[in-house]
Amino acid sequence: MLNDDELKNGIIICDSSEPKTIAELRTYGIPVMGVSKGKGSIQSGIAIMQEFELVVIGKNLIQEFSNYCYQKDKSDESLGIPIDDYNHGIDGARYFFMTRLSKSSNNYNNLRWVS
């Protein structure tokens, strides 16, 4: 796990589905780490994000959060399954939360909570 000094100096957290791209970025000296994606990773990442009060800036990211939605059944009830389209900015934020702020990370208990 990376320490906070590495994060402050600009570590890039990205999707791990392109290991060749990650390896290439590292050859240029760019500090990058991949996030493992597995079944349920979107839901678990969103659940971590929902534990925090977020301040969102930037027109595109605000639009993504405003339009974020879940699949619905025939009765128009939410199935709790995110529609994973057009949310690239949210994905980046989710990767950060999954790697740095999950309960399994060393940083989780050191946070100041906003109430």
Q: What pLDDT, in 10s, does the model give residues 6-33?
A: 555 677 888 888 889 999 988 888 888 8
Contact 11, 32 (CB under 8 A): yes
Residue-wise pLDDT tens digits, 65-106: 999 999 999 999 999 888 878 788 898 888 888 887 766 555
Rounded Cα–Cα distance for residues 33 and 19 (Å) = 10
Rounded Cα–Cα distance for residues 58 and 3 (Å) = 28
Contact 101, 111 (CB under 8 A): yes
pTM beyond 0.75? no
Report helix, strand or coil for 34.
strand
